[in-house]
A and B are shown apart, each in its own frame.
Chain A
Amino acid sequence: MSVVLTTGKISALTAITKIVPGHAEALRKTLQGLTGANGGKISSLGTIHIVRWVIFDDDTRLFFATNFDGSVEDYMRDFAERAPDGIDAIWGHCEGYPGARDYPKLRDYILGSAIETDGYYCAYPNSTVTDINKALDWKGKFDTFLDQIG
């Protein structure tokens, strides 16, 4: 799928959807809530490196850009199964949104609004979110170990 660009184990997806007139402010509050407090539900998915939403074009459109581990289908299915309320709370403010509980329709909606990526670089293309968190955990434990024997 050309709207998804992959480098190593990490992929990029960018989508732009139309906001239902008058819904921008409610959407903004939802996005701030979902991404606050260290990402809550988003972080619990364990495959998302970075996700960014931008309300632009005079509050009429929503820009969505994400970097994630694995294939786009796995990513979206996972997202839809584990956080359908979150997806509804965001794209429910956008025109033509089919709901998160019908996966094929959700997939077609997101990929249908996706745009191609023209340039993509990742400093650690073969390291997943799990790899990185595990490495940081090991580093912390190793430092503690060195403190004990030093």
Chain B
Amino acid sequence: MRPYRFPFAHYHLLNVSDAAKARRWFGGVAGRCTTVANLDAPPPLAFNVALSWQGLSAIGTPEPSLSSFPQEFQQGMAARADRLGDVGDSAPARWDAPFDKRVHALVVVSAMTAADRDAASTALLSDLRDNGLVAASTIDAKLLPGPDGKLVPIEHFGYRDGITQPAIEGSGEPALPGAGIPDAGGWRALKAGEFVLGQPDETGAVPDLPTPATLGANGSFVVLRKLHQHVWAFRDFLRRSATDEADAALVAAKMMGRWRSGAPLALAAAQDDPALAADPTRNNDFTYLDDLRGTSCPVGAHVRRLNPRSGLTGPNGASVHRHRLLRQGLPYGSHLPADAAADDGAERGAIMLLVNADIARQFEFVQKVWINDGDFAGLGNDKDPMIGGNDGSGFFTIPRVPPPRRRLKELPAFVSTRGGEYFFLPGIAALRSLADTAS
């Protein structure tokens, strides 16, 4: 397994109308799915297929197999809303279609060009009806244009995205410094079982698989999150909280944990450093061990919360490697112009795909403990200042030398959940086996 990124994607959300035909179709697309084997020569197009538990049920997966999947996957994301902090404006009742009802399958078409993507999607959609599938919705996602019109890996708030991915044993990729977990004298890759079912995980054991093994082995779980970004509210908050433009850049960097270029505060505490940000051998090479109080990068900063590295004191620091996620994010919606005088009300945000072997231990833990609480790091009730479920009453603390610390008050939500689901990503052999068992 290996993370990859394309500038253009379509997220097709499908429902099953005919179980037997759909099974045959899923079995048949196995040969078209992108695997590590064909990632070595970067393809112009990638194709991935995943099913929700409702989807597995809809294609006629036998009951003993359905009930062997983990409870949180069976329930689906909407049923886990309270645990995930998807309440108020983020509650499932307010989610966009089709997430407000049900989604059986996710097909991701990724491409280097819009034309390639669109052609592949058109072919896919025309193929569905005869194969027992109905397209419920397609989300159009692509990188945003930079100042010169060229596409750049920058999300709607204006920050470089996609720098950190956990290094995985056996992925065939050289591990960049900072990509795995800190180890004596350097970094080591995570065990494959953290991301692939049927492999030893960080405990050294192979956890129980969904049955039959032909279905579960080499599979994984994909968490899809459709996150609306309140870009204008974010800019407005910075204006109100900061003394001037330079201070606004500093406050925003403290909240994010990286400067706009992607340079980490852990290595560039005082000002942005685009040269550092552009160097993949340096831009992720830090542990926070020399910054336990967070005077360079606040302990509550967004990127530090999502990957605390060695920066947690006490018992919570011992299990950081058990809560890692492979992340792929792409923006949807149009860029809000820098000189916008008010919120234009447009839909914009990010489609996040989070891959893990254990949804409850990895994604849900990160969402509940690292994003929507502060107690794990001695931060009381503070939440992630960027993507936490803030409601206008929260705080964000910026430690300083010399003291006193600076504290931002009355944090609103800068992100609202607009949909999502838990999907099972079958291994290629498992996908193929679906056709064999089609009645």
Contact = CB atoms under 8 A, between A and B. Distances in A.
Contacts of A149: 404
Contacts of B407: 143, 146-147, 150
Contacts of A150: 404-407
A147 B397 CA distance: 10
Contacts of B404: 146, 149-150
Nearest to B400: A150
Contacts of B409: 147
Interface of A: 143, 146-147, 149-150
Nearest to A139: B380
B378 to A, nearest CB: 12
A135 to B, nearest CB: 13
Contacts of A143: 407
B140 to A, nearest CB: 44
Interface string B390-412: 00000000000001111101000
12 contacts: A143-B407, A146-B403, A146-B404, A146-B405, A146-B407, A147-B407, A147-B409, A149-B404, A150-B404, A150-B405, A150-B406, A150-B407
Nearest to B407: A147
The size bracket of the interface on B is: under 10
B361 to A, nearest CB: 25
Contacts of A146: 403-405, 407
Nearest to A148: B404
Indicate the member of B403, B404, B409 with the most A CB atoms within 10 Å: B404
Contacts of B406: 150
A150 B403 CA distance: 8
Given A143-B407, A150-B405, 10 more contacts: A146-B403, A146-B404, A146-B405, A146-B407, A147-B407, A147-B409, A149-B404, A150-B404, A150-B406, A150-B407
Nearest to B406: A150
Nearest to A142: B404
A138 B404 CA distance: 16
Interface in B414-436: none
B402 to A, nearest CB: 11
A30 B407 CA distance: 44
A133 B407 CA distance: 23
Nearest to B395: A143
B398 to A, nearest CB: 9
A122 B405 CA distance: 32
A146 B403 CA distance: 9
A146 B404 CA distance: 6
A149 B404 CA distance: 7
A143 B408 CA distance: 12
Interface in B240-288: none
A150 B398 CA distance: 11
A27 B17 CA distance: 53
Contacts of A147: 407, 409
A150 B395 CA distance: 14
A149 B407 CA distance: 11
A131 to B, nearest CB: 18
Interface string B318-351: 0000000000000000000000000000000000
A88 to B, nearest CB: 38
B68 to A, nearest CB: 34
A143 B405 CA distance: 9
A121 B92 CA distance: 41
A150 B404 CA distance: 6
B300 to A, nearest CB: 14
A150 B407 CA distance: 8
B419 to A, nearest CB: 36
A150 B409 CA distance: 13
B166 to A, nearest CB: 33
Going nearest first, the 6 A-B pairs with the smallest beta carbon separation are A146-B404, A150-B404, A150-B406, A149-B404, A147-B407, A146-B405
A7 B179 CA distance: 46
A149 B403 CA distance: 10
Nearest to A150: B404
A127 to B, nearest CB: 17
A150 to B, nearest CB: 5
Nearest to A145: B404
Nearest to B398: A150
A33 B405 CA distance: 43
A137 B404 CA distance: 19
Contacts of B405: 146, 150
A71 B405 CA distance: 42
A143 B382 CA distance: 14
A143 B409 CA distance: 11
A33 to B, nearest CB: 26
Interface in B17-57: none
A137 to B, nearest CB: 14
A2 B403 CA distance: 50
B379 to A, nearest CB: 12
A150 B397 CA distance: 11
A146 B397 CA distance: 11
Nearest to A143: B407
A143 to B, nearest CB: 7
A13 B409 CA distance: 42
Interface string B299-311: 0000000000000
Interface in B194-221: none
A31 to B, nearest CB: 25
